[in-house]
């Protein structure tokens, strides 16, 4: 794919670490890393450049215990404080009162509604505080993500800059970095999980299977996105 990022003032050359440094040099303090606590590769890269860099996260209220443990390990290792964002109480209460706790399994529309209330809307609020953000998405994760650039204009969040430093990395490269630097990571990865979201929507995958098959496994493959990384996505 075309890797020309001159419109952003970036040559396109260099490593993931170089791109992280470019992002922080150009946007700090109006930039943050959105972390889902599967691995901590980008956390490590960001913290090595700026100890005061922002890490934001969404607590959907249904995250696995191992995800919270990974977040705790990050705060201890890097002496930082994660900025947590939570669903707004009124819409969440209305959803569970009118449709129950498991409406997300009844239809794609209901699942998207749940994702919007628990995950997308809180992240939307977080991203109103920045001009750019780091994401850990990778092209090999799914067909939808295969066209992701390392730097993009995020039309879904007011046109801010979205930086995907490891977009071209393989999963083996991610694991190699984690092992080399002895990083904390989500222990569910040791149990066969390859993509980790809410506990009720995530399960292990068979060895060699695409990572996203463990998410919303009752849905067709083309629907396996929560909406954060989908352009012009609406419930």
Question: Could you give the residue numbers annotated as active site?
Answer: 226
Q: Give the per-residue pLDDT at 118.
A: 97
Burial classification of residue 136, based on how many CB atoms lie within 10 Å of its CB (0-12 exposed, 13-18 middle, 19 or more buried):
buried
Residue pointed to by tokens 């209901």? 110
Comparing CA positions, the residue from 107, 110, 106 lying closest to residue 118 is 110
Between 98 and 225, name the one with better pLDDT: 98
CATH number for the domain that contains residue 16: 3.40.50.620
**pLDDT(83) > 80:** yes
**pLDDT(199) > 80:** yes
Q: What is the 3-state secondary structure (H, E, C) of the chain?
A: CCCCCHHHCCCCCCCHHHHHHHHHHHHCCCEEEECCCCCCHHHHHHHHHCCCCEEEEECCCCCCHHHHHHHHHHHHHHCCCCEEECCCHHHHHHHHHHHCCCHHHCCHHHHHHHHHHHHHHHHHHHHCCCCEEECCCCHHHCCHHHHCCCEEEEHHHCCEEEECCCCCCCHHHHHHHHHHHCCCCCHHHHHCCCCCCCHHHECCCCCCCCHHHHECCCCCHHHCCCCCCCCCCCC
Give the count of domains, the chain.
Answer: 1
- Residue 102 sits in which domain range? 6-218
pLDDT tens per residue, range 84-123: 999 999 999 999 999 999 999 999 999 999 999 999 999 9
Q: How far apart (Å, rounded) are the C-alpha atoms in residues 183 and 170?
A: 17
In a domain, 142, yes or no: yes
In a domain, 226, yes or no: no
pLDDT tens per residue, range 17-73: 999 999 999 999 999 999 999 889 999 999 999 999 999 999 999 999 999 999 999
Q: Give the per-residue pLDDT at 74.
A: 98
**pLDDT(222) > 70:** no
In a domain, 39, yes or no: yes
Q: How far apart (Å, rounded) are the C-alpha atoms in residues 218 and 234?
A: 21
Sheet-wide strand order for 31-34:
83-85, 54-58, 31-34, 132-134, 160-163, 151-154
Among 20-34, 195-209, 210-224, the range scoring the smallest mean pLDDT is 210-224
* Bridge-based pairing state of the strands 151-154 and 132-134: unpaired
Q: Give the per-residue pLDDT at 215.
A: 87
Q: Give the per-residue pLDDT at 229.
A: 53
pTM of the model: 0.89
Between 152 and 143, name the one with better pLDDT: 152
pLDDT tens per residue, range 166-188: 999 999 999 999 999 999 999 99
Comparing CA positions, the residue from 110, 107, 138, 111 lying closest to residue 229 is 138
Which CA distances in Å does 77 have to 74, 106, 179, 227? 5, 41, 15, 31
**pLDDT(235) > 70:** no
**Cβ 158 vs Cβ 41: under 8 Å:** no
**pLDDT(141) > 90:** no
Most confident residue range from 6-15, 131-140, 221-230: 131-140
Q: Give the per-residue pLDDT at 224.
A: 54
Confidence tier at 234 by pLDDT (50, 70, 90)? very low
Comparing CA positions, the residue from 113, 126, 32 lying closest to residue 85 is 126
């Amino acid at each position: 794919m075309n890797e020309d990022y001159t419109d952003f003032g970036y040559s396109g050359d260099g490593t993931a670490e170089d791109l992280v440094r470019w992002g922080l040099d150009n946007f700090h303090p109006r930039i943050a890393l959105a972390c889902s606590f599967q691995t901590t590769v980008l956390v490590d890269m960001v913290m090595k450049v700026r100890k005061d860099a922002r890490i934001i996260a969404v607590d959907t209220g249904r995250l696995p215990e191992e995800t919270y443990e990974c977040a705790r390990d990050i705060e201890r290792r890097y002496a930082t404080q994660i900025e947590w964002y939570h669903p707004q109480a009124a819409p969440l209460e209305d959803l569970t009162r009118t449709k129950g706790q498991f409406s997300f399994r009844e239809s794609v529309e209901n699942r998207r509604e749940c994702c919007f209330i628990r995950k997308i809307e809180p992240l939307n609020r977080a991203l109103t505080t920045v001009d750019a953000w780091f994401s850990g998405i990778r092209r090999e994760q799914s067909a939808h993500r295969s066209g992701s650039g390392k730097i993009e204009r995020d039309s879904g969040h007011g046109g801010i800059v979205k930086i995907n430093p490891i977009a071209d990395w393989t999963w083996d490269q991610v694991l190699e970095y984690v092992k080399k630097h002895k990083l904390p990571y989500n222990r569910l990865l040791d149990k066969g999980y390859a993509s980790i979201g809410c506990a009720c929507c995530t399960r292990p995958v068979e060895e060699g299977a695409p990572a996203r098959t463990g998410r919303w496994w009752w849905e067709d493959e083309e629907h396996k996105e929560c909406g954060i990384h989908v352009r012009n996505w609406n419930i």
